[in-house]
Amino acid sequence: MPQIALLTDFGTRDWFVPVMKTVIYSINPRVRIIDISHDILPQNIAEASFVLWNAANQFPAKTIFVTVVDPGVGSARKIIAVETEQHVFISPANGVLDLVLSEKNIKKSVWVENRKYFLDNISSTFHGRDIFAPVAAHISKGVKLRELGEDAAYRAQKSPFCDAAEPGKYRGTVLYIDRFGNLITNLRVKAGIEGYAKVGNRKAKMVSTYSDVQHGQLLAYRGSSGLLEIAVRDGSAQRKLTARYYMTVELKLR
Amino acid sequence: MPQIALLTDFGTRDWFVPVMKTVIYSINPRVRIIDISHDILPQNIAEASFVLWNAANQFPAKTIFVTVVDPGVGSARKIIAVETEQHVFISPANGVLDLVLSEKNIKKSVWVENRKYFLDNISSTFHGRDIFAPVAAHISKGVKLRELGEDAAYRAQKSPFCDAAEPGKYRGTVLYIDRFGNLITNLRVKAGIEGYAKVGNRKAKMVSTYSDVQHGQLLAYRGSSGLLEIAVRDGSAQRKLTARYYMTVELKLR
Amino acid sequence: MPQIALLTDFGTRDWFVPVMKTVIYSINPRVRIIDISHDILPQNIAEASFVLWNAANQFPAKTIFVTVVDPGVGSARKIIAVETEQHVFISPANGVLDLVLSEKNIKKSVWVENRKYFLDNISSTFHGRDIFAPVAAHISKGVKLRELGEDAAYRAQKSPFCDAAEPGKYRGTVLYIDRFGNLITNLRVKAGIEGYAKVGNRKAKMVSTYSDVQHGQLLAYRGSSGLLEIAVRDGSAQRKLTARYYMTVELKLR
């Protein structure tokens, strides 16, 4: 069964997401739709990029990822579709795919322009319904990227991730703050390493799990994405450190 | 595949929505359930009406819409089912269907009274599970409205929408405020019109898309529902204008 | 069609829940997944327990309930699977199942330990993906509990619910506060009883439905779970009474 995964900042109070779904089902009733999230902060490309990177790394092959998060919604911004060995990605051409594609082989990229695969009457403000949903549904039925438009010659960006494997000092940044207030960084770490992380003048000891520190204490650990994370046991590192996106995190490995 | 669309103010923290779904699946395992929203503000009929109107206009034929939003939940309020050319609607008889039905031909309307299609033990406070879910599931399996109860003689209300097509001045109201803080009005406008909208003493120029104004500026445009909307580029019109439902909006077309 | 019901505190902004779903579908594409809720307050076992108890009592037989709410996430906490006449439950062994199992016959309980049914590379912090999701999917395909690990000898706890059937005075506590601010207690009541409930020095008359009291007034009634609930018509009892979990509620039946 082909699978379409949706990632938007549309929220769940309005009618935008269910309308996208009915458009998809009306074109391909046999597709499975999975919601990644619709609660991305409005127009927050950084947040969407990171969630997409994580989801895509853990989703099965042949998933079609539809990401609709764009500060320039309704502008003349082009829409891009990119095919990798595993997946297809469709999004506004605003860089939201750069992170997820930074470590992938690009097989094909095109501008999404062929109106044959759009809804008949295109509004200028709801491209999710009028373009993204029908194009994804058509791809799930076998339409090839080359049928959608001209070659976009997308080149993968340099990965922002950094390996912190050997003893020494590393400097990273906060890429994401999750719902529990955990800070996720761009530093790739291995299981079992020892040392500590520093945010401002606060130290967090590297441990393997939450229960290795006391209630309320800071900890640093290898998160489920393989990245260094900073958390507070039974609390929020975001609150304790008044943390922000892209804040510097230092890591000292022994 | 028949399709049931759910719209409630039940939220997503409690067990109400999943229980409704299992009741539906237990009666008709082959139905598709689509969540329109469960985040309608508690008992807010205006908000539910507008979301339902939008969803229904964009959903495929043969969808069964179940709306459970009612300030008088658990009261002796009757439940109504209405069939149009395209859809079936079930809701408390509290007016929440008036907007969506204002522009439709009513084929049949009935009071939902036949206990044969309810769950066996009816609570006085969870009609979503005990009445709405099983009745919708039975309709999706082919039960006709006339089997549900007496004729309700529902008459479509006058549409609150107003066409603003010719040059001149129009006075409308805010019907809905979406998650981005955009104000959606009752004024139907065409693509390509020129002029400006006014909320209080603040002017918003008619443009065709967000990127036609500067960051932080007000704009007026034809939204994806064909209605005049007021927004702020990269911001919230609701906050900038301290806007409220039913606030007056003036429109001057050149 | 087998059915897996998910209850977590993962929220809907991150990638945790959709990743769990794709793991389940990749093992058993023919299962139905139902979200109970992902909006349980972080690590709040009391809240999860009550939502699970309610959902389980209203879900069809053969549902597999996966509950991932745990203050000790990532610790060495064991994972337990319990089979009753109707259902299978999987959760951290932290007591979150005690309420739902308090009134059930336990057929079998095991520690979830057999790595054959886990994902290949187990992270220390995302057991939802690595253990809970694949184990639930394998059970939905017919794997028996005895294949998962050693017998856990789980014994049902004493039920915290108390029958308030005869005239007299009862003392109960608030077990749950729902999204509308209604207080749900541990007192089991029958339909049609008369009397009043007391929270602090505020009285709430027993009525059969919201419309039996005036706008803004307190009421007590038999909720859809058969328990005494305290509410405010068109308002929030939580706000009006500054209520908290486990607050005392007195009930006087005539």
Q: What interface predicted TM-score (ipTM) does this complex get?
A: 0.90
Listed residue (A193, A183, A202, A200) closest to A163, CA to CA: A193
Contact C14 A1 (CB under 8 A): no
Average the pLDDT over C217-242 and give the result: 94
Contact list in B for residue C245 (CB cut-off 8 A) is none
At A74 the pLDDT is: 57
* pLDDT reported for residue C138: 98
Chain A positions in Cβ-Cβ contact with residue B211 (cut-off 8 Å)? 72, 74-76
Q: What is the pLDDT of residue B66?
A: 98
What is the pLDDT at residue C1?
Answer: 85
pLDDT score of C210: 82
Partner residue opposite C60 with nearest CB, options B22, B42, B123: B22
Q: How far is C110 from chain A (nearest CA, A)?
A: 24
For the whole model, what pTM was predicted? 0.93
Q: How far is B136 from chain A (nearest CA, A)?
A: 18
**Chain C residue with Cα closest to A1:** C29
Tell which of C9, C15, C37, C129 to mutate to test the A interface (max A CBs under 10 Å).
Answer: C15
Report how far residue C158's alpha carbon sits from residue C163's, in angstroms, rounded to the nearest whole number: 14
Cβ neighbours of C15 in A, within 8 Å: 36-37, 51, 54-55, 58
Mean pLDDT of chain A: 93
Of B40, B191, B210, the CB nearest to A73: B210
Task: Write out the E strands in B133-217.
Answer: 162-163, 168-177, 183-188, 195-199, 202-206
Report the pLDDT averaged over residues A117-132.
88
Q: Minimal Cα–Cα distance from B96 to chain A, Å?
A: 16
Percent of chain C with pLDDT over 70: 98
pLDDT at C102 over 90: yes
Contacting residues of B for C209, CB less than 8 Å apart: 74-76, 124-125
Bigger pLDDT: C180 vs C21: C21
pLDDT of res. C163: 95
**Minimal Cα–Cα distance from C193 to chain B, Å?**
14
Residue type, B49: S
Distance of alpha carbon B5 from alpha carbon B34, whole angstroms = 5
Regions of chain B with pLDDT less than 70: 73-75
**Hey, which chains touch C, using 3+ CB pairs under 8 Å?**
A, B
Query: What's the confidence (pLDDT) of residue B73?
Result: 59
Residue B204 to residue B187: CA distance in whole angstroms: 15
DSSP-derived secondary structure letter, B134: H
Q: What is the pLDDT of residue B208?
A: 87
What's the CA gap between A166 and A182, in Å, rounded?
A: 24
Q: What is the pLDDT of residues A151-160, one digit of tens each?
A: 999 999 999 9
Q: Which residues of A touch B55 (CB under 8 A)?
A: 15, 18-19
Which two structure tokens, joined as six digits, stand for A77? 């911004």
User: Is the pLDDT confidence value at C150 over 90?
Assistant: yes
Sheet of strand B3-8: strand arrangement: B32-37, B3-8, B63-68, B88-92, B79-84, B106-111
Output the pLDDT for position A73: 58
Average of per-residue pLDDT across C229-236 = 93
Asked if residue A76 has pLDDT above 90, the reply is no
Task: For residues A182 and A208, give the distance between their C-alpha atoms in angstroms, rounded to a whole number.
Answer: 15
Closest to C207 in 3D by CA, of C189, C181, C188: C189
Q: Does residue C73 register a pLDDT over 70?
A: no
Q: Which residues of C touch B23 (CB under 8 A)?
A: 58
Query: Residue A3 forms beta bridges with which residues?
Result: A32, A63
Question: pLDDT class for A55, splitting at 50, 70, 90?
Answer: very high
Mean pLDDT value of segment C68-88: 87
Strand partners, A84: A106
